[in-house]
Structure 1
């Protein structure tokens, strides 16, 4: 059997099996729930359903913050439960081989800590691959191509770009102008301008729906003055205007990587364009703002949310791709 791909992100974790495809796509969240039997652990959708509704004594944990692992103990616990929840005996492997995503800016110490945490959680062996390279592989790009290629990965905590050639990263940039910043900006705007308090999940849903909606969207929350339930209609153009500054800041920060790009690689990017992936890239204006900032055509693949995990699973069968230096 090949390796399972685990894209452990700030907002979402996606697990892909090399033969069965995506078997897990849920929030990166763990809830330790007090019960009569002791401590009950919930992850993913089950944990998200209880977020904000937890009683005293419950613990809500995010294994990744702003694109980085901050609590290795929590990561080990989360990955252990993730392996249990996704296996269900289907792989018949007690300690599966896994390939995990990492940031293009991850230090050797951060890489080692993540690898060891995965192995201690139950992986027989854990390899790492920078998320943009995994996304390229999942989108069908050839990492061994001598032409220069580029991928932008926009997650909840970070947005990053990698420009690579023949499997080697030539230029890279990372910034924190990403999904969480857009969510915070939209939540603050709706509170100040419409007087409504919204949960993170509702704001995230509005943010994503605005990319394809044509009619006003309904924001369901609590009136900031009275505390009563309230539904507010919000125009799509208004949401786009609130999100646009974050997207422009990200585009400017990521565009700086072109300063490090060899001049000979520019024609390749003009011909092939830049691939845009990541769950937060589904929010409005990303494609347009990146094309303006980079001066290059930007393409969105068919499955931008899951292509990183799909690429990680493919990399498991290709030893030369595992743990490529960023």
Structure 2
């Protein structure tokens, strides 16, 4: 952990700025913001038109002078000014005024594992723009593990996989610290892209921007397994004529297209296990992997990992908000650290 629990207890609010959604936890009030990390801007005047869910519904439906932007990519703030404006509007005037009453306003933020100093500085400056005098950074893997109830402070192995929109992070934790961890630039967006490219190449069909989730295509029921429906009907736009057209899609072919990006996730899990001490790997044979993050809900993803690794795989309750809940638990002081006092001579 980058910061002590005592420092986190002094923070007044915590932010989990993800590529897909932004979540804000206020001490004493709970999770008050859970909105898409999207903003719509008028390019003529520079005015912010909408943020959150309303801005996300505008994607692909705006006139030329309105642009829908995502100020966060892969858990990293790529547009500090826009991220700051988006957070201001998501919090609202009432909440901002309440927070600013604290003369020494402190904030905490989740950062991806292995984030470089520039990425850490970007999230820090974003929260300083909201009035925070001090910003504490917490590794997303630690926050998510605490949020889903894993005993991270004990001397036993716990393995967590944070499945985000743009990245997947895998780690083995013990004694409140990360023993081994890896991050790969593969997430829910990569799976969506694989499905879109498959339909474009094989069926000359272009899907609407809001309809690329595999959940809406064919992978409901048994998801990525071979026990789901053999075919499904998909409506989109013909690449050649530009006219609306529906086609019958073979779900087995869709599953094959998805396997390519998911193979990188399996390689990531293997590397983390190879870098772990044998005693911790033995613990994981019984406890398995806990999946968190929005992409953990991809139908059949857990079954595929179970078959490929031979380990138990569990999806956390409300996996999408685990990191924010863990951050809130540390702010509220609900986590008791394991005290290791030096032995007397």
**TM-score normalised by L of structure 2:** 0.81
Matched, 1:278 2:298: no
**1:72-103 superposed Cα distances (whole Å, 9 cap, x missing partner):** 2232222222222xx75499433665432211
**1:16-52 superposed Cα distances (whole Å, 9 cap, x missing partner):** 45555544333211111368x8723311111111111
* Secondary structure class of the residue paired with 2:153: coil
RMSD of equivalent CA atoms: 3.0
Task: Decide whether the 8 Å contact of 2:329 with 2:335 is kept in 1.
Answer: no
Structure 1 partner of 2:247: 232
Task: Decide whether the 8 Å contact of 1:174 with 1:254 is kept in 2.
Answer: no
Structure 1 partner of 2:88: 80
Task: Decide whether the 8 Å contact of 1:206 with 1:217 is kept in 2.
Answer: no
Structure 1 pair 221–19 and aligned structure 2 pair: CA distance change class (3 A): farther
Shift of 1:233: 4.2
Shift of 1:68: 2.5
Cα distance in 2, alignment partners of residues 82 and 252 from structure 1 = 37
Cα distance in 2, alignment partners of residues 21 and 230 from structure 1 = 46
Pairing partner for 1:254 from 262, 269, 289 = 269
Pairing partner for 1:11 from 20, 25, 35 = 20
How many equivalent residue pairs?
319
Pairing partner for 2:327 from 305, 312, 317 = 312
Q: 1:147-166, aligned counterparts within 5 Å?
A: 147-166=156-175
Cα distance in 2, alignment partners of residues 101 and 208 from structure 1 = 32
Shift of 1:256: 0.5
Q: Which has the larger radius of gyration?
A: 2
Pairing partner for 2:71 from 63, 67, 71 = 63
Task: Decide whether the 8 Å contact of 1:186 with 1:203 is kept in 2.
Answer: yes
Structure 1 pair 161–229 and aligned structure 2 pair: CA distance change class (3 A): same
Shift of 1:188: 0.9
Cα distance in 1, alignment partners of residues 276 and 46 from structure 2 = 55
Structure 1 pair 232–123 and aligned structure 2 pair: CA distance change class (3 A): farther
Structure 1 partner of 2:284: 269
Matched, 1:50 2:62: no
Structure 1 pair 4–33 and aligned structure 2 pair: CA distance change class (3 A): same
Structure 1 pair 153–207 and aligned structure 2 pair: CA distance change class (3 A): farther
Task: Decide whether the 8 Å contact of 1:190 with 1:196 is kept in 2.
Answer: yes
Structure 2: give runs of 5+ residues left out of the alignment: 1-9, 223-227, 338-345
Structure 2 partner of 1:101: 110
Q: 1:110-149, aligned counterparts within 5 Å?
A: 110-123=119-132, 125-149=134-158
**1:174-207 superposed Cα distances (whole Å, 9 cap, x missing partner):** 0012211111110011112222211232012646
**TM-score normalised by L of structure 1:** 0.85
Structure 1, 88-97 or 163-172: larger mean CA deviation: 88-97
* Secondary structure class of the residue paired with 1:146: coil
Cα distance in 1, alignment partners of residues 279 and 127 from structure 2 = 39
Structure 1 pair 239–20 and aligned structure 2 pair: CA distance change class (3 A): farther
Cα distance in 2, alignment partners of residues 153 and 120 from structure 1 = 28
